[in-house]
Structure 1
Amino acid sequence: MAARIISGLLILVSFYIGVSHGSRVFQKPSAEYIEMMTALGITDTIRTMLGVCSILAAVLILFPKTFFIGNVLRAELLIVMMSLALKTGNYKFALIEIPFLLMPLALIYLGHPFKNGI
């Protein structure tokens, strides 16, 4: 029972983070944000694609049948961001992403709380 509650809470947090970070691409970016993305080698087109994928992954984790795929996509997006940060020597950014990478992995381990019905 506790695992279902923890999984449910992690799903809500992960959904919120995925949608809020993904929707940021549709807002006017700040100068610092553009500078960070440029330093990572991310163009506006790639930034938009990453945002759409982030929102898609967040929505996919809500449903038991697409839960695994959504978490894998979310983890892949985070690994890409971490890899780009390491490539440019931004170790602080890569280290900050580690807890966010652990979230989809923990969710995969815990499973969807409604996979066997409510």
Structure 2
Amino acid sequence: MTLKLISSALIIFAAFMSIKHGWQGLTMKPGATGPEAELFGKWNLSPTTLKVISLLTLLSGILILMPQTFVAGNILNAALIFFLMVMFFYIGELKAALIEIPFLLIPLVLIYLKYPLG
């Protein structure tokens, strides 16, 4: 029972964060200011690439909510977080990369715990 509650809470958190960040990325205007816009500018990724990453992030959050696509959503989420970590290392942001470690562990723990209502 306790593991189901933990799993449910982690699912809600992971899905919310993925959907939130995916939506923010999709609605970010070119030339926007703020911490996320500044960070994406350092990565030198094209606006199209950023939109694709945002769409994938949004998709992973939706997939996590459904039992049939739960594992796929978590794998996609983990891959995207790993990509973020690599990009942080690439631009020399060690602290930011290390901050992502707990967020990388969440989808892996969710896969281990399995979908709680299945």
**TM-score normalised by the chain length of structure 2:** 0.91
Q: d(CA) in 1 for partners of 2:82 and 2:17?
A: 16
The runs of at least 4 aligned residues of structure 1 exceeding 3 Å deviation read: none
Q: Which residue of 2 aligns with 1:59?
A: 62
Q: d(CA) in 1 for partners of 2:68 and 2:34?
A: 39
Q: Which residue of 1 aligns with 2:28?
A: 27
Q: Which residue of 1 aligns with 2:72?
A: 69
% of aligned pairs identical? Answer: 36
List gaps (5 residues or longer) in structure 1. Answer: none
List gaps (5 residues or longer) in structure 2. Answer: none
72-81 vs 37-46, which moves further: 37-46
Task: Give the SS at the match of 2:65.
Answer: coil
Number of positions where the alignment pairs a residue of Structure 1 with one of Structure 2:
115
Q: Which residue of 1 aligns with 2:16?
A: 16
Is 1:89 the counterpart of 2:92 in the alignment? yes
Shift of 1:87: 1.3
Q: CA RMSD in A?
A: 1.2
Task: Give the SS at the match of 1:61.
Answer: helix
The answer as to whether partners of 1:41 and 1:84 remain within 8 angstroms in 2 is no
Shift of 1:108: 0.5
Shift of 1:30: 2.3
48-57 vs 35-44, which moves further: 35-44
Q: d(CA) in 2 for partners of 1:73 and 1:48?
A: 16
Distance 1:27 1:41, change over 3 A: closer
Q: Which residue of 2 aligns with 1:78?
A: 81
Q: d(CA) in 2 for partners of 1:53 and 1:102?
A: 18
Q: d(CA) in 2 for partners of 1:60 and 1:88?
A: 30
